[in-house]
Chains A and B, each alone.
Chain A
Amino acid sequence: MTLTVTDVKRIADLAYIEIDNDEAEATLTQLTGIFDLIETMQAIDTSSVEPMSHAQSVTQRLRDDEITETDQRDACQAIAPQVEAGLYLVPKVIE
């Protein structure tokens, strides 16, 4: 797979990362290197290997369905830039 600067800019855009042309070029070189590595790995026959979905071979621990958290709104809102009527205020967003 060949990556282009346009792809890099689109990915940056989706991730809300602002990058200029120089950074995009540098990132393209790095990402292309990573893709080469992936290509090398994909050349290996893994048909008999079960896909790994996590680096550790342990399974998810579960919690009982109980309320353990108490209301910490005041503490949490003390570090928020702006609050009103118990709400966190953010720049206006309407889809």
Chain B
Amino acid sequence: MQWEIVIGLEVHTQLSTQSKIFSGASTAYGAAPNTQACVIDLALPGVLPVLNKGAVERAIKFGLSVGAKINSPSIFARKNYFYPDLPKGYQISQYELPVVQGGSIKIEVDGIEKTIRLTRAHLEEDAGKSLHEDFHGMSGIDLNRAGTPLLEIVSEPDLRSSAEAVAYAKTLHSLVRWIGICDGNMQEGSFRCDANVSVRPRGQEKFGTRCEIKNLNSFRFLEKAIDYEARRQIDILEDGGAIRQETRLYDANKDETRTMRTKEDANDYRYFPDPDLLPLEISPDWIGHIASSLPELPQVREDRYVSELSLTAYDAAVLTSSREIADYFEATVRVLPTQAKLCANWIMGDVMAQLNKEGIEIPACPIQPDSLAALLTRISDGTISGKAAKAVFESLWHGELNKDVDAIIAAKGLKQISDDGAIDKIIDQVLQANPQQVADYRNGKEKAFNSLVGQIMKATQGKANPAQVHAILKKKLEQ
């Protein structure tokens, strides 16, 4: 039987605020245990939560960037469960009327575009961390993370393969970083995925019973966990069994998922509106203000690179994979508006390769867009060859001569010989010294031409303008 996999994702993005969602404690990562857990985070008696404007603003930004409805009023609710890293005995989350309702995200898999609908995105607080190393038979609790603002983004079950799920997660990851609401650091848990997976016979309308896989903190694990889980469910169904609705954990070491809790012992969270928090009003003015501060969105920019700058869809997608790369490209192309393709090639080629080699990100690139643009200007005006440009690039990267492109070209003697007379002279010398190859070419051996070009370039130490050499040589040989 042909099976269809159905996936919905819940992604927890940690919002990049300075302070927590309901207290003024710092959210900085890596502090000594409990030094950023204030009396509100500890839920000491008598404390009250006060909502962080920055967290709401980020949620609105997200909503606007996916074309969602911003609910006003929006309501906070208590999600009740008992666990020591949740000191209040409930998590403040949203149930009815989340800040963000609906919206959609476009993904692309194997060149096919698909729209994934979002159900909602709601604000909530993160829990602390339990450390289960042995503390005399007890667990240690660090509440620094308790109260960190999260935006939980829930998709509709619109994804049909692990590849689509990964494409969706990556698009979302790039978007939240692009609009500056989340640093996207997956190692530090700033972007965590839960996957709801079910299978059904192809063509059947009714969804199968789903299992939720928790805490997938890398794209690779997301893909592998879904593949494993779908296979497991298909095997059970093909053996005549039934799927039990449950929550499962992915074990990366064994590459398998295993039961965490079944539906029977699933908690009833008893959601109710939090009486400590009043309804959140979001005025149209506020929304308008945030909308006007939103950067040009990646999809819009990608389309513009194709339509206005005539880049290929592939180039446009790579250049808009992060806002930093896109902004770098933009700053370079601003200087050379007619040379978008040249700028794209150099950024996607030499710049990215060198960044990868040194393990740094583009904001830390030693060659800033104005320097790169100065270098590319010298290629496009014929001052240096593409090959010489690589040498200049090296020098720029290492900060030589104050990163002055023209000074580097002069110091290294890389200026192309574009003077017809000078090239003429060298070509004549080479032709005289190689009568056999000249004869070969005239007898129809095309290869001899390239050999002559090679010798001319050698004689000029690579400084002759290759296009000019080709033209003049051809003319002379055909005389």
CA distance A72 to B35 in the complex (A): 7
Q: A60-B279, A67-B25, A72-B39 are in contact. Are A87 and B50 (CB under 8 A)?
A: no
B140 and A59 within 8 A (CB): no
Query: Does A37 count as interface, using CB distance less than 8 angstroms?
Result: no
A90 and B37 within 8 A (CB): no
A59 and B36 within 8 A (CB): no
A87 and B34 within 8 A (CB): yes
A20 CB → nearest B CB, Å: 21
A residues 38-72 with Cβ under 8 Å of B?
53-56, 58-69, 71-72
A87 and B53 within 8 A (CB): no
Query: Does B189 count as interface, using CB distance less than 8 angstroms?
Result: no
Picked from B37, B83, B268, the residue with its CB within 8 Å of the CB of A73 is B37
A89 CB → nearest B CB, Å: 4
A95 CB → nearest B CB, Å: 7
In the bound complex, residues from chain B placing their C-beta under 8 Å from that of A55 are 275
B278 and A60 within 8 A (CB): yes
CA distance A76 to B42 in the complex (A): 9
Hey, what's the 0/1 contact readout for B239-257 against A, CB within 8 Å counting as 1? 0000000000000000000
B37 and A76 within 8 A (CB): yes
Q: A16-B82, A93-B130 are in contact. Are A63 and B139 (CB under 8 A)?
A: no
B53 and A65 within 8 A (CB): yes
Hey, what's the 0/1 contact readout for B110-131 against A, CB within 8 Å counting as 1? 0000000000000000000011
Chain B residue at minimum C-beta to C-beta distance from A87: B140
B424 CB → nearest A CB, Å: 69
In the bound complex, residues from chain B placing their C-beta under 8 Å from that of A93 are 83-84, 130, 139
In the bound complex, residues from chain A placing their C-beta under 8 Å from that of B54 are 64-65
Q: Chain B, interface size: which category?
A: 35 or more
A54 and B273 within 8 A (CB): yes
Hey, what's the 0/1 contact readout for B31-55 against A, CB within 8 Å counting as 1? 0111111111010100000111111
Query: Does A14 count as interface, using CB distance less than 8 angstroms?
Result: yes
Hey, what's the 0/1 contact readout for B7-30 against A, CB within 8 Å counting as 1? 000000000011100011110000
A14 and B25 within 8 A (CB): no
Query: Does B307 count as interface, using CB distance less than 8 angstroms?
Result: no
Q: A85-B33, A93-B130 are in contact. Are A67 and B24 (CB under 8 A)?
A: yes
CA distance A64 to B56 in the complex (A): 11
Q: A62-B52, A73-B37, A76-B37 are in contact. Are A92 and B138 (CB under 8 A)?
A: yes
Query: Does A29 count as interface, using CB distance less than 8 angstroms?
Result: no
In the bound complex, residues from chain A placing their C-beta under 8 Å from that of B135 are 84, 87, 89
CA distance A15 to B90 in the complex (A): 11
In the bound complex, residues from chain A placing their C-beta under 8 Å from that of B97 are 53
Q: A73-B34, A76-B37, A87-B140 are in contact. Are A66 and B18 (CB under 8 A)?
A: yes
B142 and A86 within 8 A (CB): yes
A65 and B18 within 8 A (CB): yes
Q: A59-B281, A88-B143 are in contact. Are A66 and B34 (CB under 8 A)?
A: no
Query: Does B267 count as interface, using CB distance less than 8 angstroms?
Result: yes
Q: A14-B268, A54-B279, A69-B23 are in contact. Are A62 and B56 (CB under 8 A)?
A: yes
A91 and B138 within 8 A (CB): yes
Query: Does B137 count as interface, using CB distance less than 8 angstroms?
Result: yes
In the bound complex, residues from chain A placing their C-beta under 8 Å from that of B83 are 93
A47 CB → nearest B CB, Å: 18
In the bound complex, residues from chain B placing their C-beta under 8 Å from that of A71 are 35-36
Query: Does B163 count as interface, using CB distance less than 8 angstroms?
Result: no
Hey, what's the 0/1 contact readout for B264-281 against A, CB within 8 Å counting as 1? 000110100101011111
Query: Does B260 count as interface, using CB distance less than 8 angstroms?
Result: yes
B residues 126-167 with Cβ under 8 Å of A?
130-132, 135-143
Hey, what's the 0/1 contact readout for B52-90 against A, CB within 8 Å counting as 1? 111110000000000000000101000010111000010
Picked from A61, A65, A88, A89, the residue with its CB within 8 Å of the CB of B55 is A65
CA distance A59 to B282 in the complex (A): 10
CA distance A92 to B132 in the complex (A): 7
Q: A62-B52, A85-B140 are in contact. Are A90 and B33 (CB under 8 A)?
A: no
Query: Does A77 count as interface, using CB distance less than 8 angstroms?
Result: yes
B402 CB → nearest A CB, Å: 40
Query: Does A94 count as interface, using CB distance less than 8 angstroms?
Result: yes
In the bound complex, residues from chain B placing their C-beta under 8 Å from that of A21 are none
Query: Does A2 count as interface, using CB distance less than 8 angstroms?
Result: no
CA distance A1 to B157 in the complex (A): 34
**7 A-B pairs whose Cβ atoms sit less than 8 Å apart in the complex:** A61-B278, A62-B56, A63-B53, A66-B24, A73-B34, A88-B140, A92-B138
Instruction: Sort A-B residue pairs by CB-CB distance and give the 3 closest, nearest first.
Output: A65-B54, A68-B24, A87-B140
Beyond A87-B135, A90-B138, 12 additional contacts (C-beta under 8 Å) are A15-B80, A59-B73, A64-B53, A65-B55, A67-B19, A69-B19, A73-B37, A76-B42, A87-B33, A87-B131, A89-B135, A93-B130
